[in-house]
Structure formats: structure tokens, C-alpha cells
Amino acid sequence: MLLRGRNVDMIEIAGKRASLSDLTRRLLEIPGVQDAVVFQPVDTEALAQGVARVQRVAAAVVAPALSAREILAALAQSVDPAFLPRPLLLLAQLPRNELGKTARAQLLQLLR
């Protein structure tokens, strides 16, 4: 079996690896989640100083009938705790561009 994908999709936390797209897929499988994206913020200040800091993953989720706690509990059933998103932002809709894609810059703005 040959797996193909982008290296930028793979993340490593605590010596474990995961795919951001797979984490997003698992989040979207939760009943009540209408839209979601999992991403890994980058500490740009640390990078500017030449320090690579491990960052937790974050998620932006559209799930009007669910709380962040309920979403994390459901996700914890299929995801290693190291990859549970924190923060998990609940939104009315994801910021998407004219092509329907979520722009990383817009997601990072949500964290500020």
C-alpha cells in the first residue's frame, strides 16, 4: 500500500505523529459537527529566534448544538490525547475564501 500526501499535513507531538486532515476528518464524523478544520499554530516569535517550539493543535468548529467539552469528549474516543485540539473554537461559520478554502492567516487571527 502506498500512501501519498503532503508533508506539511503531518505533525509530531510528544514523539507521536498524526495527520491534520485525518484529525479534521475525525472531528467532522462527530454527530452535530457541521464544519471543522484542525490546524497547528506556529509560534512565530520563537521561530524568529531560531527556536522550534511544540505547539498543540487548534480547531475551529461549527456545531451549534454542541459544547466544546462535548466535542472534545467525543473526539477523545478516537484520538490520542496529545492531539486533542486546544483551543477548540466554536464558530457560527468557518472563515472561507472565494474558493471555499480556509485561509491559515484567518484561522490564526481567530486565536488572538
Is residue 54 domain-resident?
Answer: yes
Residues of the domain holding 74: 7-110
Contact assessment for residue 26 and residue 9, using Cβ atoms and an 8 Å cutoff:
no
pLDDT at residue 1 greater than cutoff 60: no
- Predicted confidence at residue 44, as pLDDT, reads 56
* pLDDT for position 49: 63
- The answer to whether position 97 is within a domain reads yes
Q: Could you tell me if residue 30 is inside a domain?
A: yes
The CATH number of whichever domain residue 14 belongs to comes to 3.30.300.30
Taking phi over 0 as left and psi of -120 to 50 as alpha, with beta for the rest, 108 belongs to alpha
Whether 1 is in a domain gets the answer no
DSSP β-ladder status, 58-62 and 88-90: parallel
> Does residue 69 sit within a domain?
yes
Give the model's pLDDT for residue 104.
84
User: CA-to-CA distance for 58 and 87, rounded, in angstroms?
Assistant: 5
Our count of domains for the chain comes to 1
Assess if residue 2 is contained within a domain: no
**pLDDT tens digits along 46-83:** 555 665 555 789 999 999 999 999 999 999 999 999 99
57 within 8 A of 11, measured Cβ to Cβ: yes
Render pLDDT for 5-21 as a digit per residue (tens, 0 to 9).
556 688 888 888 999 99
Assessment of whether the complete model's pTM goes beyond 0.85 = no
